[in-house]
């Protein structure tokens, strides 16, 4: 199979996940028209199922937040097997900018 044929095959088919062995994740999210909140994912060893604290959101809403989380991670992650691959988003710079924005809002509202 040529590299082009292999790429065409990947493009025509989505990957599938077969198992989740362990998990804990805590995500802060915001969504225009919906609000903001946190989503936590925990792995239940007794049942073998992931449990998501969904703040009463629908499965479709949770799915959209999980897709956004995947994009967030993929754009900021360091790929341990590809050290020359630099993430397109500088996570540390993003955190600093977010903190500065938060501090400015606190000053505006007289909380600091």
What confidence tens digit (pLDDT) does each residue in 37-85 have?
999 999 887 887 889 998 889 999 999 999 999 999 999 998 999 888 8
**pTM of the complete model:** 0.73
Asked whether the beta carbons of 53 and 43 are under 8 A apart, the reply is no
Residue with more model confidence, 59 or 18: 59
For the record, the structure tokens of 8 come out as: 């065409």
Other C-beta atoms closer than 10 Å to the C-beta of 25 total 14
Average pLDDT over residues 25-38: 90
């Amino acid at each position: 199979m040529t590299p082009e044929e292999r790429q065409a095959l990947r493009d025509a088919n989505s990957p599938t996940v077969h198992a989740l062995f362990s998990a804990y994740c805590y995500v802060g999210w915001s969504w225009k028209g919906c609000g903001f909140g946190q989503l936590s994912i925990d792995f239940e060893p007794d049942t073998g199922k992931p449990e998501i604290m969904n703040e009463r959101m629908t499965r479709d809403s949770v799915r959209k937040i999980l897709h956004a989380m995947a994009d967030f991670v993929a754009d900021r992650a360091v790929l341990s097997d590809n050290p020359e691959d630099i993430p397109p988003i500088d996570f540390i710079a993003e955190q600093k900018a977010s903190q500065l924005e938060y501090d400015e809002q606190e000053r505006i509202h007289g909380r600091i």
